[in-house]
Amino acid sequence: MLGWEDVQSEALRRIQTREWTPGELIPTEQDFADELGCARATVNRALRALAQDGYLERRRKAGTRVAIAPQRMARLSVPLIRHEVEALGAVYGHRVLKQTPGAMPAALRLGLGLSNATPCYTIITLHLSGTRPFALEKRWVNLDAAPGFDAAPLDTISANEWLVQNAAFSHGTLDYSAAPASRFEGSHLGCPEGTALMTLERNTFGPEAAVTWVRISYAPGYHLTLDI
């Protein structure tokens, strides 16, 4: 008996080989199930997965069509900086430059939907690739959404890694830009003030509330590759 992954593979083959052409109405779930000798529920799951990936457009009472311009959905995980460094064949290390409890700046708090009373913590970490600076991270954390963070051994495990392991994550936003290095960033990343740096700002949310806001500035020469 075919599983839904098998049905998905067959439907994708027909799309990619243009057996089903862009904009074409594909067979009904029942007709496709009869053709393949499987349950309609199996076909339904397979086609839903392809629709989520942008290959199909599904409309009630109008059937399912091959997308004319497939819009692939990007799936990004929160990366461990340690893994990025180790993937380069280097030894990872990190140094905590500052950590302290304190109120989150108003603009960040509003953007994350947090109140004035939300207990927060800030930490600045320098990530190392061998002996060379790799990235400078400034992070604010909502302690209600990440209980235990303020007592974690952050000199042993980075804030990045501790949160990935211990804080529930449901969704977030990413903003990449080329930003000029501040004097502080330049002094720790080994570059002159004003140097253009690849900079990431990320809001991370859990099921009930925002967990963290982080700004990561990468040392000159950083390279990012995304698969689509």
Closest alpha carbon to 139 in 148, 152, 126, 151:
126
CB under 8 Å, gap of 24 or more: what pairs does 55-58 form?
A: 55/12, 55/15, 56/11, 56/15, 56/26
| Cα 149-86-169 angle, rounded to 5 deg | 35
Taken in order of first residue, the domains within the chain and their CATH numbers are: 4-66 (1.10.10.10), 81-218 (3.40.1410.10)
One DSSP character per residue, 170-202 reads -EEEEEEEEEEPPHHHHHHHTS-TT-EEEEEEE
Predicted confidence at residue 73, as pLDDT, reads: 57
Gap between the Cα atoms of 76 and 204, Å rounded: 12
Q: What are the pLDDT digits (tens) for 131-161?
A: 999 999 999 999 999 999 999 999 999 999 9
Q: What are the pLDDT digits (tens) for 180-212?
A: 999 999 999 999 999 999 999 999 999 899 999
Predicted confidence at residue 74, as pLDDT, reads: 57
Mean pLDDT by 10-residue block, N- to C-terminus, for the chain (228 residues)?
91 92 94 94 94 89 86 67 94 97 90 92 97 97 96 96 91 93 97 97 93 97 78
**Rounded alpha-carbon distances, angstroms, from residue 11 to 30, 32, 33, 59, 118:** 14, 9, 11, 18, 49
Gap between the Cα atoms of 31 and 51, Å rounded: 18
